Amino acid sequence: MSAPLLAPLAATQDGAALDLLDRAFASDPTLGWYLFAERADFAQRRRAYLAAYQRLHRANGMPILAAWQAGQLVGAAYFSLTGQHPSAGSLEHIGQAIRQQCGADCLARLDQLLEAFEQQPSHSGSARIEFIAVAPDRQGRGIGSSLLSQTLTQLRQQGCQLVALETGEPRNLALYRRHGFAQSGHLTLAGLHQYYLQANC
């Protein structure tokens, strides 16, 4: 199959992108940990969280890069530029949405991970990659690598010096390392081992 076409995601495609995120992260260890995957209705909580996150990202003008093949959305990267942070109002709004739709204990676990990320060396002032999602039936075909490469190119063009990300999925580490990321820390919790990585842009 041909290489994916990479382009900014139009707001009109947010619905398709949400479906993609939901499928791609259905078994993600990190989301599973802070949204309590072992409980009933996990799928509903996961989608509600991802929808709230997507609204936050869009409301704050953060970049979204999409990958297309044969007219179909097959991947997306959500990231922030160096020093780009959500507004206080939008953070309050997403907190309320998560508390109401997912539960206060889910929000508490998410806050715990966010605090741990901010405490990692050099992460607070860096650019950040939030999600790289690839449709499950297209994984292993280089789409994630293309998205990550183009994301790093865009960050360099914006003057980025350092980019950070985190993952609870060990199988993702090889991809990140191929693109210059090195592990900068880790967090071990009951039911989750979270890896923190960073790279020079």
Q: At what angle do helices 42-59 and 14-24 cross, to 10 degrees?
A: 130
And the tokens for 68?
């297309």
Count of the separate structural domains present in the chain: 1
> Which amino acid is it at 176?
Y
Angle at 124 between CA 48 and CA 119, to 5 degrees: 85
Position 1 scores a pLDDT of 61
Q: What is the domain range of residue 94?
A: 5-200
Question: SS3 for 189?
Answer: strand
User: Structure pTM?
Assistant: 0.94
**What CATH number corresponds to the domain at position 82?**
3.40.630.30
DSSP state of 4: P
Q: pLDDT of 92-137, one tens digit each? A: 999 999 999 999 999 999 999 999 998 887 766 689 999 999 999 9
Phi, psi of 73 (to 5 degrees): -70, 120
> Which amino acid is it at 97?
A
Q: What is the pLDDT along the chain (201 residues), one digit of tens a residue?
A: 678 999 999 999 999 999 999 999 999 999 999 999 999 999 999 999 999 999 999 999 999 999 999 999 999 999 999 989 899 999 999 999 999 999 999 999 999 999 999 888 776 668 999 999 999 999 989 999 999 999 999 999 999 999 999 999 999 999 999 999 999 999 999 999 999 999 998
Q: Rounded to an integer, what distance in angstroms lies between the CA atom of residue 114 and that of residue 29? A: 15
And the tokens for 177?
């390392």
Residue with tokens 């865009």: 154
